[in-house]
Structure 1
Amino acid sequence: MKSLFLTAACALALFSARAQPASGGPAPGNPAAPDPTATPLDGGASLLLASGIALGLKKLRNRRKLAR
């Protein structure tokens, strides 16, 4: 059941992660526009890292609890 929920959550995340039209990309004749490949990696990457650490700690605690 967990794997079905995880698969559905990932599918929904993929559908919502589409590029936005008119998102500030370079326009013809606008040399001051930002580089279109410059993608900020701020909030999403840190949340992913934090959740991975939390999952790892949970698995370690469960393993120690079973060893007792």
Structure 2
Amino acid sequence: MRTIMNKIITVLVVLFSIQGVFANETPPPPSPPVPPGLPIDGGLVILFFLALVSGYYLSKKYISIKKGSL
């Protein structure tokens, strides 16, 4: 009876000690937040006027090509 109890205790001790070996490590700390992107408020008016100018130029170019093909 005593040898069976010793075997059971030995198996339990080994199983519980192995559990600590295979435990996961603590996760790394989270990375710092990403800085905000660059604002486009300062150049928004300039971009708007450039879009108008390029739209005017491309529409005139398209119209002149279309007239030339007729």
TM-score (normalizing by structure 1): 0.41
The one of the two structures with greater contact order (alpha-carbon pairs below 8 A, sep at least 6) is: 1
- Greater fraction of residues in helix: 2
Q: Report the structure number with the largest CA radius of gyration.
A: 2
TM-score (normalizing by structure 2): 0.40
